[in-house]
A = this chain, B = another copy of it.
Amino acid sequence: MPPRIVIIGGGFGGLYTARGLRHAEADITLVDRHNYHLFQPLLYQVATAALNPSDIAAPIRSIVRHQVNISVVLGDAIGIDVDAKRVQLADGMLDYDFLVVAAGATHSYFAHPEWERDAPGLKTIDDALEIRRRVLTAYEAAERESDPAKQAEWLTFVIIGAGPTGVELAGALSEIARQTMVRDFRHIKPESARVILLEGMNRVLPPYPPGLSASAKKQLESLGVEVITGAFASDVNDREVRLAGDRVIPTRTVLWAAGVQASPLAKSLGVPLDRAGRVLVEPDLTIPGHKEVFVIGDLAAVKQRDGTFVPGVAPAAIQEGQHTAYNLDRALEGQPLRAFRYRDKGSLATIGRAAAVADLGKIKLSGFLAWIAWLAIHIFFLIGFRNRFLVITQWAWAYLTYQRGARLITRDDKMSSRA
């Protein structure tokens, strides 16, 4: 019987591990709690009504259909017994000879889990549809409201956290207000909506070089976003965001882009974790004492030679997946594992229509050129031709007409409570 390899998670890390094992004589099981692989870097486009869910997601089964050594299982991994070499699912179990844990991360509300209800984060398609529903509903509520103060609350959108996701959301929400919605209402002026981006550090995009942060801030402001740095939220509820120092922003729509936390699955491995709950892996991406258990992607804390950690971005997860497939091929042949080394190809963040920043090592771009680079790279990496093609048509259309095609308020209360 061929060795059994179980991969938990169909994100970038898990999927690239699976694809890298296409020639392996192994019995591979890829388990994910969703039936789709999600191209997460474009998820904010679904949340802001520019793309449909299926433009950025494809069934995992479909992606690996030609790789006969893989079975795909829709299931929720809830625990790992590394001694028994067994993964516990919510409704079953999977035995393994080799395990790859690529279960990713979720939002972190630090000490305030109660904020989640009023400040949803953006990790899954359901999150994106929920954010879309809230944003579109806010304009509808403002249109029906006659009290100007209450109208202004509905037309104030606060994004907490100015990392790449927060910056992208802020830029897109500002475009919605100033371009998409502008002729659709009779009683409100959508272009009077305020989009406020809060960041605790002293600049936006903190991991980027200061020059690009400054350029990003300028581009955001020219899109109409109000940027407030050095601002920590002390309270979030359904009527306001309160900042340390007691400044209050009345708002009905708050989005959370401030922090992530590793999947709780990491705990069941019984090995040391960092503060964010990520697994401190060995240089070959295995866990201490278990050369048959690999942890990759956002769930892994991978220390580099210079003492810094590999960033939690898609290219890192892809490289770790490819490397793990290579190491598994070696392990199956009885060869020793090799250490992983991250090749940083630079960072990109988009801000809005033809606005972005790019840090490609020696080359630093901003504005239109950075946006074109961003566009080309993201379209290139979208998995599956169909998605790539449709994304181009939708974007081209949206660019030409300032429209957003997916402006539907779905998930009405009736259905949600029925399901």
| Residues of chain A at the chain B interface (Cβ within 8 Å) | 33-36, 52-55, 57-59, 61-62, 65-66, 70-75, 92, 117, 124-127, 129-130, 136-137, 140, 143-144, 183-187, 386-387, 389-390, 393-394, 397, 401, 403, 405-419
- Contact B61 A184, beta carbon cutoff 8 Å: yes
Q: Given that A140-B74, A144-B75 are contacting pairs, would A408 and B65 also be in contact in the complex, using a CB cutoff of 8 Å?
A: no
Q: Return the chain B residue nearest A29 by Cβ.
A: B186
User: Which of A186, A410, A413, A416 is most buried by chain B, counting CB atoms within 10 A of its CB?
Assistant: A410
- Contact B394 A35, beta carbon cutoff 8 Å: no
Query: How far is A409 from B37 in the complex, measured between Cα atoms in Å?
Result: 11
- Contact A408 B59, beta carbon cutoff 8 Å: yes
In the assembly, how many copies of this chain are there? 2
**Given A36-B407, A124-B415, 13 extra CB contacts under 8 A:** A35-B136, A35-B409, A36-B408, A57-B408, A62-B184, A71-B187, A75-B144, A126-B412, A129-B410, A393-B393, A411-B411, A413-B419, A416-B419
- Contact B140 A65, beta carbon cutoff 8 Å: no
Contacts of A33 in B (CB 8 A): 412
Out of B59, B74, B403, B408, which one reaches A407, CB within 8 Å? Answer: B59
Query: How far is A84 from B233 in the complex, measured between Cα atoms in Å?
Result: 50
- Contact B36 A409, beta carbon cutoff 8 Å: yes
Contacts of A137 in B (CB 8 A): 74
Contacts of A401 in B (CB 8 A): 386
Contacts of A393 in B (CB 8 A): 389-390, 393
Query: How far is A369 from B56 in the complex, measured between Cα atoms in Å?
Result: 35
